[in-house]
Amino acid sequence: MKTGRIGIVVILCGVLLTARESLQAAKLVINADLGKAKISKNIYGHFSEHLGRCIYEGYWVGEDSEIPNTRGIRNDVVQALKKIKVPVLRWPGGCFADEYHWKDGIGPREQRPSMINTHWGGVTENNHFGTHEFLDLCEQIGCEPSICGNVGSGTVEELSDWVEYVTFDGKSPMADLRRENGRDEPWKVKYWGVGNENWGCGGNMRPEYYADLYRRFQTYVRKYSGNKPFKVACGAYADNLRWTEVLMEKVPVRMMQGLSLHYYCGSGEKSRSATKFGEVDWFAQLRRALRMDEHLRRHSVIMDKYDPKKKVALIVDEWGAWHNVEPGTNPAFLYQQNSLRDALVAGVTLNIFNRHCGRVKMANIAQTVNVLQAMILTDGPKMILTPTYHVFDMYKVHQDAKLLPADLECGEYKFEGDEIPALDVSASRDWSGKIHLSICNLNPNKPDKLSCEIRGAKVTGISGTVLTAPAINSHNTFDNPDVVKPKAFNDAMLKGNGFEATLPAKSVVVLEID
């Protein structure tokens, strides 16, 4: 009898413990008075390459097109990008940059020589979209340009001439040529990449060889007419730590202001389709997306050794998901759909960049229109916004805000014997004093409760926006463009000097706290 009672008590305790665990909220503490580092707005940058339908049909339709445009650049795309406050746009590549000769892309369009785009489908590039058109695009969007120079197949003179053509306001052969082509005043172009992926498509170089080439090429990226270049050296892919070690050792800090890093988190475990996948693919991709934190930490350790004052920025100028192309499209054009899964990839990656903002000063998602993890998809005159676009729209509140320390204790999202954190967060405080908190619930099967305490600030109000959808593979189409779209979030209420919230499964939530 005594043993039976003990057994009943044990069973009851187990039931109560299980119930308590299921109701236990994740805990978050935000120290609103301890923030120091600023989240550079350029972390929310974008990348557009001469690849598939990114430039042509994406941005450029030509001045004679029936699609509404301004000097050949389609108005709907520009307006959409202005809304999310695109801060910086990288161009012309990518692999295309190291076969691009910029002088072929200036002057009367009908007289510009064509070339073969050898990396992306062997199609003919007519060079109708060149330097003037790109810088016009940036002016229309209201963003800064970032130009990547040709080191793989170009010359020092070619890159030097490009900088002079774009930025010099005096009398010189290149400045005069710019004036002949219709632009009297120079542009202000701060960001200059000196080569792209020179360990691969940019020349298959050893890091020691590229380090010497970089030192030479960057010498001739001159400061003209008050335009002070911010020079970005080609960095590593993912976990190639040796490349970073060699570049930081061989190139003096005074010669580079940025070192790039590229990382694509791939696709699913069993299916690489952008829309036809199961939870195994959802879990695998989010696990790989979270590895961005590891890559940043490991490369930052090396950079800290040679640059403890953090004078050289880590520039993640290519990142994102990479699925199979949509059926029936050119495999070399990298046109893929964009689902709720991609929204979560974007959310956790941007959170990671925010948390590393002491070293990461720019990032450029690949690519803005019609290629890879795009913001926008077009089909002739039609245009739709992707789930990833909506995340960038929701997260724009972090641009140039102060990062706030946020200590999170949460449960795990478990799948087939593996696990990742169920929640991922970042917090910031803007110039007006408002606190913004971005939260991703990675678990597609259940909501999560969050209890947050805010220290160092008085809380008087809370509101929010949520992005979720019925299924993990929900996505927007030209027939149904609003399947995945932000909505007001009303499941947060103030409690003490903080709040409690119930976060929907598979969701991105951004809260504004007064």
Q: Supply φ then ψ for residue 292, to 5 degrees.
A: -55, -35
Strand partners of residue 406: 30
Q: Are 257 and 313 in contact (CB under 8 A)?
A: yes
Q: Does the annotation count 125 as an active-site position?
A: no
HSE-CB for 125 with a 13 A CA cutoff: 27
Closest CA to 53 of 113, 117, 139: 117
- Tokens 């990547």 correspond to 148
Residue among 318, 412, 416, 419 flagged as catalytic: 318
Per-residue exposure over 343-354, b if at least 16 CB sit within 10 Å of its own CB, e if not? bbbbbbbbbbbb
Instruction: Return the half-sphere exposure (C-beta side, CA atoms, 13 A cut-off) of residue 106.
Output: 20
CA atoms of 102 and 93, how far apart (whole Å): 12
Catalytic member of 99, 125, 164, 197: 197
Angle between helices 279-306 and 340-355 (to 10 degrees): 20
Please give the single-letter amino acid code of residue 207. Answer: P
Catalytic residue flag (residue 318): yes
Question: How far is the CA of 47 from the CAs of 88, 131, 144, in angstroms?
Answer: 8, 15, 12
Residue 111 — φ and ψ, nearest 5°?
A: -105, 0
Give exposure, 479-510, as e/b (b: 16+ Cβ within 10 Å): eeeebbebeebeebeeeeebbebebbbbbbbb
Which residues are catalytic, by number? 197, 318
